[in-house]
Amino acid sequence: MEKVLYKPQTGGEVTVTSSKSDIHRALICSSLCNSRTKIICKCDSEDNKITAEAMNTLGAKISANKDGFDVKPISGLKSGVTLNCGNSASTLRLLLPVVASLGNKCDFLMSKELESRPISDLCTELIGHGAGITMGNPMKLLGGLFPGDYLIPGRISSQFASGLLIALSMIGGSLEITDGLENRPFFEETLDTLGKFGAKINYDGTKYWVSRLFPFVSNGEYVVEGDWSEAAWLLCAGVIGKNPIKVNGINPKSKQGSRAIVTILKAMGARIEVFEDCAVAYPSKLHGIEINTRSCPDIVPILAVIGCVAEGDSIFHGIDNRILKESSRVESIEKMIVALGGTVRSREGVIAISHSRLVGGIVDTLDHRVAMSGALASIVCDGSVTITNPECVSKSHKGFWDEFTKISKI
């Protein structure tokens, strides 16, 4: 069912859901612990639910409640099972090395979209250290990963390194990341989460040296911080709308890459006040900016919309890996901006946006980030904006449209 938006008058106050990336990691680590863990979070992501169900299939007992998740760790590891990863790359890439390190045998089932996303570099490294993997859908895994020195390219996804780091925390070894590291903040989140579960990891400037610890150690409760990717679009709505928006539940010292939205918007002239657990964005006159977005990929689609509003040109570098997301994201961003009347140009690693009067139009996409960005654009479009696949936002934020309605009624 399509969703038609016409000049929503935004403003108000919202408490964000919890960090989706941190929930993935907390669900996995708590399932590998010595005792039960209460994960305190506000979760509505389909991808997080896929990870929880995968851990249940392996033998954990995870139940959702109003406060988050109650996790009883794996007792009696189940072998020969099928883990349905759906369209969640995080689930597949984090769990493949983890399950291999457990010595387990299972199948990884994927959506057609996920099947087309890169995984071969990770599989090659796992095979080289004892795992048996048969490519296909489902992908077949015969575990038996052994300790040692692991080498993984970082140019495609930090999730490869994150999955290996969790696995090495159970079996021991070292990890060296080559070719730089895409989305480094997500890897930093993994380091932080593992530390909270007792892992001992040292970095010597070249390699991460990981001590063996299994099971992990639970403190009984794990509190997940608010999601900066969600906060980002809300803050953008406050900046380009006619009324301020207050965003609650965010940590201004978070390691999440999307926290960069505050720095970027301020550099473009936005007025944003940041407090201990919230931020307030005020309607502002913006100017263009040239910036590298390699560490904050999730906010590139909304920055494209902001670039249309800002005076002058905005140039976003470091976007090479955006084509490897749920869609060909560079192409999806271009199609959205052009469909709404904007001017956009791209070349390898760069998207350039010119100040444009957006007239409205149809945003036809299955990419959750692009659909959300189309909704953001409706605030400044002359005419209506039609989102053809609005349900796709459930991948990361099932309650997005309820939230959008809330800030549109003031």
Q: For tokens 């911080």, what's the residue?
A: 225
Extract the tokens encoding 142. 């015969």
The per-residue DSSP string of 242-269 comes to SS-EEEES--TT---GGGHHHHHHHHTT
Extract the tokens encoding 289. 């900016």
Pairwise CA distance, residues 62 & 235, whole Å: 33
Burial class (CB in 10 A: 0-12, 13-18, 19+), 120: exposed
Pairwise CA distance, residues 365 & 363, whole Å: 6
Helix (H) or strand (E) holding 332: helix 329-339
Tell me the residue ranges of DSSP E strands in 169-295: 173-181, 201-203, 207-210, 221-223, 245-248, 271-274, 278-282, 290-292
**Biggest alpha carbon distance in the chain?**
61
Closest CA to 366 of 326, 401, 334: 326
Helix (H) or strand (E) holding 132: strand 132-134
Burial per residue of 31-66, b for 16 or more beta-carbon CB atoms within 10 angstroms, e otherwise: bbbeeebbbebbbbbbbbbbbbbbbbebbbebeeee
Q: Which of 47, 227, 298, 367 is catalytic?
A: 298
Helix (H) or strand (E) holding 333: helix 329-339
* N-term to C-term CA, the chain: 26
Helix (H) or strand (E) holding 62: strand 61-65
Pairwise CA distance, residues 27 & 216, whole Å: 12
298 is catalytic: yes
CA distances to 10, 24, 56, 75, 337 from 286, rounded to whole Å, are 18, 35, 48, 55, 18
Catalytic center residues = 298
